Amino acid sequence: MVAAPPGSDPAGRARYLTGALFLGPAFVLLGVWMVYPAVYTIIRSFFGRTGYLGTWVGGSNYVRLFTTHTLIRAIENNVIWVAVVPALVTAIGLIFAVLTERVSWAVAFKTAVFLPMAISAFATGVTWRILYQQDPDVGAINALGRSAASLVSAPGVLHTALPSTPTLQTRNGAVVLKAPLQPGRSVSLGLTGIPPQDVPSGAQQAVQPKAQSGAIDGVVWRDFKPGGGKPGVVEQGELGLPGVTVQVKDASGKTRSATTGKDGTFSFDNLPSGTYHASIGAQTFSKPFNGYSWLGPKLITPSLLIAYIWIWAGFAMVVIGAGLAAMPRDVLEAARTDGATEWQTFRRVTVPLLAPVLSVVFITMIINVLKVFDLVISLAPESTQANANVIALAMWRTAFGGANDFGTGSAIAVFLFVLVVPVLALNIRRFKRDV
Amino acid sequence: MTTAAVELPAPRDTVAAKILRFVAKAPMHLFLVALGALWLVPTIGLFITSILPASSLASSGWWQIFTHPSLATWSNYDKLFHNEGLLSALKTTAYIAVGNTILVVIIGSLAGYAFAWLDFPGRDWIFIGVIALLVVPLQMALIPMFRLYDTFGIFDTVISIILFHTAFGLPFAIFLLRNFFVGLPKDILESARIDGASEIVIFVRLILPLGLPAIASLAIFQFLWTWNDLIVALTFGQNVQPITVWIFGQLREFGTSIDVIAPASFISLVIPLCVFFAFQRYFVQGLLAGSVK
């Protein structure tokens, strides 16, 4: 009971004064900085680009919002953000929370994952920009990619090489001798475009072997010498290319392989008569991994999503972890005693009981994602910011980033506001239920 | 059968059982260690980048430090601490963060107390209005306040940035504190009132000390939020330049200024990190209390 003495005048005035003292400062700030601007922005969105109000333009700012290419892109990107991030963050948070319940050093893990929450989204942008650099020598993520790629297939020894004459052609990465062969031939497989440092060590003067009956032999060499030389002919000063795998395939599709020697020669002896196709295998020419362009126009949004999830996973983990801790243990125990497996317990008991907490995390993340700004402007290089555009960034760029169009800027802000109104309604309903 | 049931031997924790349990759990431990490490890598990478000379960063990444530890140097930091621009940016950010935190705590707890314990007509409806303001994106206020600040000649000042943050911090502050104050024991308050204590005395002597945990959470949130802010600073502080705006100005030459950007970014995140580590408990409490936002 908070009964004040019934209304004698001085007492009533005192109550008003007390009320004004307690609520006045807050009301002034909320009124001037939130309520007035919200009303002004809504009105302003129907007026032109400059001036206190400018000229009445009706709904054309809103039309522009859905017809201008960069703004459509911003809305599309925000749809991707909303579709991907809240679900992933909630799922990752749930997994982390459940797993950390079972280890004794959970605090250390939670601190590591939660840490990015204290760091500004702006500094996170800088941090991830360092990791995302394209050159695998400099960017950590592409360096990892290169290590992984070299495990799967090492870059070819001659990844820059090209055929030196039109008798050879490149097909599916391999260099193929166009004309079919019969045993008794000596073939010339000349390659160019090989920088000196890429010539395998131990290479010697190339030699064109003599043709032998019943055999296909030949040479793979660097068909180039200072001054050019004559393409397709082994000349003095041109090096053989050792260690290259040459293949011949007969009419039935059977393939034989041989490796070139120091002078670049190879031979296939005792071949049955027939027609053969000679080629140098694709692995010789496979390109090294040059890194994905994480900050380029195609990958910039996925890159941003990853960094954003890195920030917010800790939030989801902590909130869901608190929900887990508050869960009635006996229900879980009962499920286990009844013979439910860990997975069944998780799926049928834990998740349904956590549903309210999961939805709080999910909704919070939707709001956060709709307002995302700092990370995009700091992680995306200026050249790809148009590709990475989101609504909050589009609003800022339109109103302050050079364009200075307050009309359209206001319309974008109102659009953003309208998107979060359903959440507002949800919050109010929850409060009314609580009271 | 007697009622005295046969005592089953208590399941003994043999060494073998312990080892077995550990081995069974090992994959999960490894998985979590790997994940935790993965989460730390970006921040560690930023720090190592910040202590490497720009010349060695052009050709290879920060992990070169593991093979060439002698490359590490404090000279990037040394240069920064002699950089007038950075020092004044840090000072500006500190003013904004501290000033805003104090204002939000004072104004927010006054209003929170009023909504919790003062009786006035329409109280709950006004409080619902405050909750409604919780989700209003600050983009709604950027253009009008830009104009208003310009009109009153306080554009691009520390105070204009502080007041903007304070206003947008208030709905959360009032929400958090009102809910905490409502839960305080009623009889303490009423006996104080019967004893003739004025509302102000009650507020200062009773509510503030009792509400300290919630106030601490709020203060940490506000401090981190304003310290880390970019959008408000970028709109209203192009010349007073808080730290984020100062670094933002360098981003255009990301590759060549990395020996400035990386250490400056690291400096900018060290202080929030310290606050976070010192008051982690309050931070988490605030997060939980406020996650209806």
- Confidence at B293, pLDDT banded by 50, 70, 90: very low
Q: Nearest 5°: phi and psi at A239?
A: -95, 145
Show the beta-strand stretches assigned E in chain B.
none
B161-176: pLDDT as tens digits: 999 999 999 999 999 8
The pLDDT assigned to B12 comes to: 58
- Higher-confidence residue of B285 and B169: namely B169
Statement: residue B290 has pLDDT above 70: no
- Are A33 and B163 in contact (CB < 8 Å)? yes
Parallel, antiparallel, or unpaired: how do β-strands A216-222 and A185-192 relate? parallel
Flag residues of chain A having pLDDT under 50: 1-8
Statement: residue B204 has pLDDT above 90: no
How many other CB atoms are there within 10 angstroms of residue A313's CB atom?
A: 24
Among the residue ranges A134-138, B180-184, B211-215, the one predicted with the least confidence is A134-138
The answer, for B181 touching chain A at a CB cutoff of 8 Å, is no
Statement: residue B69 has pLDDT above 70: yes
Return the SS3 of B54. Answer: helix
Q: If you average pLDDT over residues B82-106, what whole number do you get?
A: 92
Kindly identify which residue of chain B lies nearest to residue A430, measuring between CA atoms: B292
**What's the CA gap between A366 and B88, in Å, rounded?**
36
From the list B49, B269, B292, the residue facing A130 with the nearest CB is B49
- Are A115 and B276 in contact (CB < 8 Å)? yes
Residue-level length of chain A: 435
Statement: residue B134 has pLDDT above 90: no
Give the residue from B149, B244, B137 showing the smallest Cα distance to A409: B137
The pLDDT assigned to B3 comes to: 45
CA-to-CA dists, residue B236 to A23, A394, B134, B142, angstroms: 27, 17, 22, 9
Q: If you average pLDDT over residues B116-144, what whole number do you get?
A: 87
Statement: residue B1 has pLDDT above 60: no
From the list B39, B130, B231, the residue facing A113 with the nearest CB is B39
Give the residue from A80, A71, A76, A73 showing the smallest Cα distance to A305: A80
Kindly identify which residue of chain B lies nearest to residue A360, measuring between CA atoms: B292
**Alpha-carbon dihedral sign for residues A131, A134, A139, A145:** positive
- Confidence at B194, pLDDT banded by 50, 70, 90: confident
A316, two tokens: 């989801």
- Window 186-215 of B: residues touching A by CB (8 A cutoff) are 190, 198-200, 203
Q: What value does the mean pLDDT of chain B take?
A: 85
- Window 82-101 of B: residues touching A by CB (8 A cutoff) are none
- Higher-confidence residue of A51 and B154: namely B154
Kindly identify which residue of chain B lies nearest to residue A315, measuring between CA atoms: B287
- Higher-confidence residue of B266 and B291: namely B266
**What's the CA gap between B6 and A186, in Å, rounded?**
92
- Are A126 and B251 in contact (CB < 8 Å)? yes
B10-41: pLDDT as tens digits: 555 677 777 777 777 788 888 889 999 999 99
Kindly identify which residue of chain A lies nearest to residue B229, measuring between CA atoms: A120
**What's the CA gap between A256 and A418, in Å, rounded?**
69
Statement: residue B245 has pLDDT above 50: yes
ipTM of the assembly?
0.86
- Residues from chain B that touch A99, judged by Cβ atoms under 8 A, are 28, 31-32
The answer, for B253 touching chain A at a CB cutoff of 8 Å, is no
CB-count burial class (<10 Å; 0-12, 13-18, 19+) for A353: middle
CA-to-CA dists, residue A252 to A213, A214, A274, A392, B153, angstroms: 21, 18, 10, 64, 88
The pLDDT assigned to A174 comes to: 81
